[in-house]
Chains A and B, each alone.
Chain A
Amino acid sequence: MTRKRFVTLSLVPAIGLLATLALVSVAGAVWFSLMNRTLRSADYDFVGAYNFLRLLRDRRFMNALEISALWEIITVLGTLALAVLLAVMIFETVKKPLWRNLLCFAFLVPVLLPRVAAAFIWRFLYSPSLGVINYLCGLVGIGPVEFLADPSLALISVAVVDIWQWGLFFTVILLKLLETLPRDPIEAALLDRARTWEIHAYVTLPMLKGPLISLALVKAVESLRSFDLIFVMTGGGPGTATETLDLYAYQMGINMGGRISYASAMSILLLIVTTVAFTIIWKAGKKWAS
């Protein structure tokens, strides 16, 4: 077999299939978003930009946009903050490799859980009548807290689960990265009598700037896929307090009468916003890291 034929034979099926599926879904979404198609009836007409114009006046859509932005900010910052804090703390206090490995194993477990499972586990813990967390709250005299039914608490309560899964996972990655850093700059800082937190704030963490940016980007992409977690824990409620864009698009497209065209318009907007945002962040991150 010639080289050229080998290259074609191995590349074309995989990339061709991927490109076809991606093209079909994007083209399909654009096409449907210009129609007024629903799952109920087979008839549909071309309506132009009508769906998009209606979205701009849709209060619930604006609310979903806001919730999605909030969700992104809370989970990305929360995950990174927890990971940095824990990684530095473990790096400084736990010196025995055995203990470190044990901790790493324990910290990897949550991220491997299916989102649906994590959601059930925490719904059980959060439960006002039989949850362990509310039992502990009761011991210190705080009456049953409706973690998932209180509109002001629900989003944070769900975000805690996301941060529990990803923050601990990123802690392991950061810890391993800290271990690979050269010792010289740290020892130089020690000779200058820098305090421990100063060493990390001014020496080690700046050295890990590149990986930290990559991790933030990975988490930002991953946070967009939190449908499973929110769907099982609150279903977008109470009211629309935890309804992110993908939940609203799902409710519109499938649950509430199957307004496919309207939901398609929404997913097109979501696609554009994320693509533009990530391209900008990607480029800026690369510039900043180098």
Chain B
Amino acid sequence: MGKLISAIGVRVLLAVLIVVALGPILWTVLGAFKELRDIVTPVPKLVFEPTLDNFATILRNPTIRDGLLHSAIVVSVSVLIGALLGIPAAHVLARHARRYGDDVQFFVLSLRFMPPVAIAIPFIVIYLDLGIYDTLFGLILVYLITTISTVIWLAVPAFERVPQNIEEAAAMEGCGPAEIFWRFSLPVAAPSLFGALVFTFVLVWNELLLALTLAAQNATLPVVAASITSLGKEVPWGVINAATVVLVLPPLVFIGLLMGLLNTMVRSGPK
């Protein structure tokens, strides 16, 4: 009997935990398909007639559409440049430049300690003076701090895990360092590197403060979403929910990857 009760207790606990983790998100997804009169009810409604109006409102709204487009451009370009510059640097730090590798790594990590306001405030003035305030180029440039440093930070361990004898054997065959990197280290480290890029993508996609301060008309989706609390008189909860869903989708696609990244990190030994 006691066993049965504890077994049921475990099930209940599991259910509660899953509801706490996912419930808020699912509730928002439901809200995105509700008309306002189904949202503003004294008793929360689970059964209602779903509508696509909220999503239509979003996609018809030019500001939100532009935000989506700007986000896509800024995030993909800054992650791409971050990868092009960061991955070779990480490989060199892991293999060829051990001597000052630690100092460089500490510098890279210290960039992540830097409070974002400390970057944002001086950059407003500098951007205004240079005439690149409120441009996508300006946003990409400032996001490079995040993408390059994050890529290096996560890619160094990935290259350290590449078995050294592969690279040594290639060197014996007469391959140059660039060829070893391109033909041997990069393919072996590729899965972990992909995870690192995804993590970087999520960081930049989610960023608000820098986009809010350094852009006005050319802002990204988080800025646009943060500003739609008042379209008209009533708080348009349905539209807000729909915008939230659009904002949430891209990072969630990568959840499986994040899980894999965690598994390899834990297995390779806690730092």
A binds B: yes
- Complex contact A180–B252 (CB within 8 A): no
Q: Is the CB of A228 within 8 A of B14?
A: no
Q: With both chains docked as a complex, state the minimum distance between the C-beta of A115 and any C-beta of chain B, in angstroms.
A: 6
- CB–CB A117/B247 < 8 A: yes
Which of B27, B91, B110, B144 is the one whose CB lies under 8 Å from A10?
B91
Is the C-beta of B241 less than 8 angstroms from some C-beta in chain A? Answer: yes
Partner of B270 from the list A1, A3, A168, A210 (CB cut-off 8 Å) is A210
Q: Are B213 and A116 in contact (CB under 8 A)?
A: no
Cα A104 to Cα B259 in complex, Å, equals 8
Q: State whether B259 touches A105 (Cβ < 8 A).
A: yes
Interface residues of B (CB under 8 A from A): 10, 13-14, 17-18, 20-22, 24-25, 27-28, 31, 39-44, 85-86, 88-89, 91-93, 96-97, 104, 107-108, 110-126, 128, 141-142, 144-145, 148-149, 152, 176-178, 181, 202, 205-209, 212-213, 222, 225-226, 237, 240-241, 243-244, 247-248, 251-252, 254-255, 258-259, 262-263, 266-267, 270-271
Task: Give the nearest-CB partner of A139 in chain B.
Answer: B43
Q: Are A25 and B119 in contact (CB under 8 A)?
A: yes
- In the assembled complex, the CB of B269 is this many whole angstroms from the nearest CB of chain A, namely 8
Contact mask A111-128 → B, CB, 8 Å, 1/0? 011111100111011000
Q: Provided the pairs A18-B148, A208-B270 are in contact, do residues A250 and B226 lie with their beta carbons within 8 angstroms? A: no
Contact, CB under 8 Å: B108 / A18:
yes
Q: Residue A49 at the B interface, CB < 8 A?
A: no
Question: A55-63, A73-81, A170-178: which one contacts chain B?
Answer: A170-178
Chain A 158-193 per-residue mask, 1 if CB under 8 angstroms from chain B, else 0: 000000100010001100110010000000000000
Known A105-B255, A120-B244, A130-B237; contact A268-B116, beta-carbon cutoff 8 A: no
**Cβ contact within 8 Å between A135 and B44:** yes
A7 touches B25 (CB 8 A): no
The interface residues of chain B, by DSSP majority, are classed as: helix
Instruction: Answer whether residue A221 sits at the interface, using C-beta atoms and an 8 A cutoff.
Output: yes
- Residue of chain A at shortest CB distance from B258: A108
**Given A10-B88, A250-B117, A25 contacting B225 (CB threshold 8 A):** no
Contact (Cβ within 8 A) B252 A109 = yes
A-B contact pairs, 28 of them (CB 8 A): A6-B178, A14-B85, A15-B89, A18-B144, A18-B145, A21-B142, A106-B18, A108-B255, A113-B25, A114-B248, A116-B222, A117-B248, A124-B241, A210-B270, A210-B271, A214-B270, A214-B271, A221-B112, A224-B113, A232-B208, A250-B117, A250-B212, A253-B121, A260-B124, A267-B115, A267-B118, A268-B118, A270-B115
- CB-contact partner of A112 in B104, B176, B252, under 8 A: B252
A39→B124 contact, CB < 8 A? yes
Q: Does A227 contact B (CB under 8 A)?
A: yes
B-side contacts of A121, CB under 8 Å: 24-25, 27-28, 244
In chain A, positions 238-272 with a C-beta closer than 8 Å to chain B are 245-246, 249-250, 253-254, 260, 263-264, 266-268, 270-271
Number of interface residues of A (CB under 8 A): 90
Contact A28 B209, beta carbon cutoff 8 Å: no
Is A37 an interface position by the 8 A CB rule?
yes
Which interface residue of A10, A102, A164, A168 has the most chain B CB atoms within 10 A? Answer: A10
Known: A9-B88, A86-B17. 9 other contacts (CB 8 A): A1-B177, A18-B111, A39-B128, A106-B22, A108-B259, A120-B243, A124-B28, A130-B44, A173-B262
A152 within 8 A of B: no
Q: Which 6 pairs across A and B sit closest by C-beta, in order of nearness?
A: A28-B122, A10-B88, A14-B89, A114-B206, A267-B118, A211-B270
User: Are B255 and A250 in contact, with the CB atoms below 8 A?
Assistant: no
Closest to A265 in B: B121
Chain A residues proximal to chain B, CB less than 8 Å: 1-3, 6-7, 9-11, 13-15, 17-19, 21-22, 24-26, 28-29, 31-32, 37, 39, 86, 89-90, 93-94, 99, 102-110, 112-117, 120-122, 124-125, 129-130, 132, 135, 164, 168, 172-173, 176-177, 180, 208, 210-211, 214, 221, 224-225, 227-228, 231-232, 245-246, 249-250, 253-254, 260, 263-264, 266-268, 270-271, 274-275, 278
Task: Report chain A residues within 8 Å CB of B41.
Answer: 130
Q: Which residues of A contact B112 (CB under 8 A)?
A: 221
